Structure formats: structure tokens, C-alpha cells
Amino acid sequence: MAVSRVPVWTELDMDEVGDKAKVVAFDLDNTLARSKRPMSAEMARRIAALTRLIPVAIITGGRFELVDIQVLSMLDASANRDNMHLMPTSGTRYYRWNGSEWHREYAYDLSAHDRQAVIAAFERHAREQGLWAEHAWGERIEDRGSQITFSALGQEAPIEEKEAWDPDNAKKNVLAATLAAEFPHLAVHSGGATSVDVSRRGVDKAYAINRLAAMLDVPVNAIVYIGDRMDPDGNDYPAAMAGTIAIRVSGPHDTLKVCDELIARLS
């Protein structure tokens, strides 16, 4: 399959993007917020404003509890929660607001056998490849039910450590390729700064985008998808290749600018 380059936001005609947009979807880590950190008050204001104008989706490799901590806890009463679509663990789960709480609408969990086998393989190959850090901050391997995630430095590693560990993604990509070869019936993606994710094949961010389009009765090419991992090995790439209006950002500072551009045109 030919590799396509996803444009950065400054390369796009934002008037045209605003005219076409029916839904805006975001990655979370390093797009709305730095890894495992709550999004800023400035970002919360932009997301709340967008929810009053257009359906907003969060499609992230992280589990729902992190979406709650990083996004939901930062929103005030001005956000239209009825207009939000939460798709954690790379779209393998989906949550909607029912008026009083977030309700899980679906979950595509891995089998117990696959989860056990992937967990064992992650540790074995990480040790073989020298990626099993002597010191880790929190869990290295997390069973999220619908996704197994390996975090080389641990889930709670400092952001500075994470960002310095594998800046060119080479370490993660080798580990991901090894797992993909061992489990061809599963989907393996290089995730965040230090992570690799394994889930059911066919249920990834592209699946989430197509499911979202069907549920909202909008064409995929009317969904704006904003993310930082738009390289072919990144977990945002499938969402871009699904046919969305894909926008590549380098961090939350870019996302704030994109949000301002969209709010101005949608208002």
C-alpha cells in the first residue's frame, strides 16, 4: 500500500476545512494534552466551545479512566456532553452521555487466551530487545480488556523521560513488528511516546471513524481528525487513511490554534 503524507495544519485551507466539517475528532496524548496529564484550562475552553457547535469525538489508545482524568474532569458545565463521543482503547470501546453518567455502548474485548499470550510475549521480546527498563514508573504491561498496552518506562513515567526515550520511534517499531509477526490475527500499533498497543484486528481508529460516521449519518470525509502520530507506524495513521480530513499537529500548542480556527469558522 502506498504511503501517504498527512499535512500539518498550516498547510491546509482552514476555510475549506470549516465548510466541510460535520464532526471533529481528536487523539488525546500529545494532541489535547501531554502524556497522561490533564488538558489545560485553555484547551478545555476550546473543547467545550466546539461541543456547542459540532459533534466532538475523542479517539485514543488510552483507557476510559484516562479520558475521564485528562478531558472530562477539566470540562465545566458549559460543555454539551450530549454532543460528545468517547472512543478509548483505539476505538475498541465507545461511551455516550446518558444524562447522568457515561455509558459504555460497546466493547470488543480480546479473549483471555490472547491477552495472556500477548502479555507474556511483550515481556519476553522487550527483554530480548533491551527494552525492559531496570526502573519503571508504574505498570509496564496493562491489560485493558480490549487492548494490551506495553509502556517501556511504565504508565506513570515522567513526560520528559518518555519523550526522550524513543524520539524517532525506532525502538517501538521493532517491538511492534515482532509482536505483529507472532500474532498475525491481532492488530499491533506503535502507540504513544513509549507504548505499543495490541487489539482485535479490524478494530482500530479507522474502525472507530467508520463506526462514528455511520452512527452520526455523516460521510467519513466530513470528519476532521486531529492527531500527532500520523506517520505510517503511528496509531493515528489508520484514522487518516480512513478518508477523514486529517490534520497533523506536533502537540497541544498546535491543537489550540486548530481549535481556534475551527471555532471561528463554525460559529
For 86-113, how does the pLDDT look when each residue is reduced to its tens digit (9 = 90+)? Answer: 999 889 899 999 999 999 999 999 999 9
Q: What is the mean pLDDT of residues 136-144?
A: 93
Q: Please state the residue numbers annotated as binding site for Mg(2+).
A: 27, 29, 228, 244
| Domains contained in the chain, number | 2
Residue 27 catalytic? yes
**Predicted local confidence at residue 234, as pLDDT:** 82
Is the pLDDT reported for residue 189 higher than 90? no
101 and 217 share a domain? Answer: yes
Confidence of residue 232 (pLDDT cuts 50, 70, 90): confident
3-state helix, strand, coil in the chain (%, to 5): 40, 20, 40
Q: DSSP assignment, residue 236?
A: T
pLDDT for position 2: 56
Identify whether residues 73 and 164 lie together within a single domain: no
Q: Which of 29, 166, 236, 254 is catalytic?
A: 29
What average pLDDT does the chain have?
Answer: 94
Does residue 87 sit in the same domain as residue 129?
Answer: no
Q: Is residue 69 within 8 Å of 88, Cβ to Cβ?
A: no
Band (46; pLDDT cuts 50, 70, 90):
very high
Query: Which residue matches cell numbers 459540532?
Result: 54
DSSP 184: T
pLDDT at 198: 93
Domain finish residue from 146, 174, 200:
200
Mean pLDDT score, 155-171: 90
Q: How far apart are CA 48 and CA 210, in angstroms?
A: 24
In this prediction, residue 212 carries a pLDDT of: 97
> Which residues does the annotation place in the binding site?
27, 29, 144, 195, 197, 228, 244
Domain housing 177 = 112-200
Q: Which three cell numbers stand for residue 207?
A: 474502525
Domain match, 40 and 164 both: no
Q: Is residue 163 part of a domain?
A: yes
* pLDDT reading at 3 higher than 70: no
Please state the pTM of the whole predicted model. 0.85
Separation between Cα atoms, residue 212 and residue 23, nearest integer Å = 9
Is residue 29 among the annotated active site residues? yes
Task: Give the amino acid at 69.
Answer: I
